[in-house]
């Protein structure tokens, strides 16, 4: 698929992280200038690196990584896609471009701690700006209790959202729900900064063939110590043996 510039506005993920980093950098620079603590230059350089990489990932890297991911999928064009924790629509609206005869549904609880300016009205405006509004559905719902029938979706995606559920049992419920609403033969793509081993384990227990890999430097949240891992799984069609 040809890449066109994004016309929506997608905010910053976990905005307190770059804000705290920028505050730390200012304190560091202040101490260097006014208290002559010149030895802090290494910390200042590290903070600039952290901040730059974080902003690159949230503003550009995640879009590029997901573009490659979505490009690599085999699309018919009429799929029903679900995005768990869609926020302002970064991945949801990109996915909608692959299903001109289908529908892309996003669920979220719109937490502005997890994404700046997070609001269903912002996601709606972005869908209009990207020219995909007619095949987008947005719902306020918790991914631990999805308001959809079993086997309703061909593709379920989620980007850096499930880890926001703090309890292990809650994350398991979200994985169980993602699996429940996926139709046999359907694909699940979960990218997250932590807990990916838990997702893999849970999905394997549900009978999925699961793969896990890193999404590379474009999805490092400040450095290689905070990578994004991708979990992919395909739901077996009746009679298929799960690996
Ligand atoms: C870091 S943001 C990522 C948003 C979007 N996936 C993206 O890549 O731009 C995480 C999202 O997960 C949502 N979220 C957190 N817990 C949730 C839950 N239990 N159910 C649904 N959404 C949730 C937040 O409101 C937020 O929009």
3 state SS of 183: strand
219 lines ligand 1 (CB under 6 A): no
The mean per-residue pLDDT over the stretch 101-129 comes to 98
Q: Which pLDDT value is given to residue 238?
A: 75
CA distance 59 to 54: 9
CA distance 83 to 107: 6
Both tokens of 139, joined, read 């719902």
The mean per-residue pLDDT over the stretch 121-141 comes to 98
User: What are the pLDDT digits (tens) for 56-93?
Assistant: 999 999 999 999 999 999 999 999 999 999 999 999 99
User: What are the pLDDT digits (tens) for 187-209?
Assistant: 999 999 999 999 999 999 999 99
Asked if residue 112 has pLDDT above 70, the reply is yes
Residue 136 forms beta bridges with which residues? 104
Q: Closest ligand 1 atom, CA of 88?
A: 9
Average pLDDT of the chain, as a whole number = 95
Asked if residue 212 has pLDDT above 50, the reply is yes
Q: Does the domain made of 75-234 have the CATH classification 3.40.50.150?
A: yes
Asked if residue 2 has pLDDT above 60, the reply is no
13 lines ligand 1 (CB under 6 A): yes
3 state SS of 187: strand
For residue 236, the 8-state DSSP code is P
Cβ atoms of 99 and 89 within 8 Å: the answer is no
Q: Which pLDDT value is given to residue 79?
A: 98
Cβ atoms of 93 and 8 within 8 Å: the answer is yes
Residue with tokens 């227990």: 205
User: What are the pLDDT digits (tens) for 160-193?
Assistant: 999 999 999 999 999 999 999 999 999 999 999 9
Virtual torsion, Cα 37, 42, 44, 46, nearest 10 deg: -160
**How many percent of the chain have pLDDT more than 70?**
96
Strands 182-192 vs 209-214: parallel, antiparallel or unpaired: unpaired
114 lines ligand 1 (CB under 6 A): yes
Nearest Cα to Cα of residue 63 among 219, 196, 193, 188: 219
Q: Which pLDDT value is given to residue 102?
A: 98
Asked if residue 116 has pLDDT above 80, the reply is yes
186 lines ligand 1 (CB under 6 A): no
Q: Closest ligand 1 atom, CA of 158?
A: 6
Mutating to test ligand 1, I would choose from 59, 92, 120, 164 the residue with most ligand atoms within 8 A of its C-beta, which is 164
CB under 8 Å to 110, separation ≥6 — which residues? Answer: 87, 118, 119, 120, 140
Q: Closest ligand 1 atom, CA of 118?
A: 27
Strands 209-214 vs 229-234: parallel, antiparallel or unpaired: antiparallel
3-state secondary structure 56-107: HHHHHHHHHHHHHHHHCCCCCCCCEEEEECCCCCHHHHHHHCCCCCCEEEEE
Q: Which pLDDT value is given to residue 135?
A: 98
Q: How far is the CA of 122 from the centre of ligand 1 (A)?
A: 14
Q: How far is the CA of 45 from the centre of ligand 1 (A)?
A: 31
């Amino acid at each position: 698929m040809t890449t066109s510039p994004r016309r929506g506005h997608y905010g910053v993920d976990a905005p307190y992280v770059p804000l705290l980093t920028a505050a730390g950098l200012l304190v560091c620079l202040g101490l260097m200038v006014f208290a002559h603590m010149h030895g802090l230059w290494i910390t200042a350089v590290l903070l600039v690196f952290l901040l730059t990489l974080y902003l690159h990932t949230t503003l550009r890297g995640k879009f590029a990584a997901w573009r490659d991911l979505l490009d690599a999928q085999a699309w018919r064009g009429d799929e029903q896609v679900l995005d768990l924790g869609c926020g302002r629509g970064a991945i949801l609206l990109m996915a909608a471009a692959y299903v001109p005869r289908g529908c892309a549904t996003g669920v979220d609880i719109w937490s502005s701690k997890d994404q700046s300016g997070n609001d269903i009205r912002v996601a709606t405006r972005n869908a209009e700006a990207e020219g995909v509004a007619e095949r987008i559905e947005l719902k306020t719902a918790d991914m631990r209790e999805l308001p959809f029938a079993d086997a309703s979706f061909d593709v379920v995606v989620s980007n850096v959202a499930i880890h926001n559920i703090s309890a292990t049992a809650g994350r398991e419920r979200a994985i169980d729900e993602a699996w429940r609403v996926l139709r046999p033969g359907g694909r699940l793509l979960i990218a997250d900064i932590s807990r990916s081993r838990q997702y893999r384990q849970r999905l394997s227990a549900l009978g999925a063939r699961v793969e896990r890999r890193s999404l590379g430097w474009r999805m490092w949240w400040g450095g290689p110590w905070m990578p994004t891992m991708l979990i992919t799984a395909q739901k077996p069609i009746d009679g298929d043996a799960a690996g």
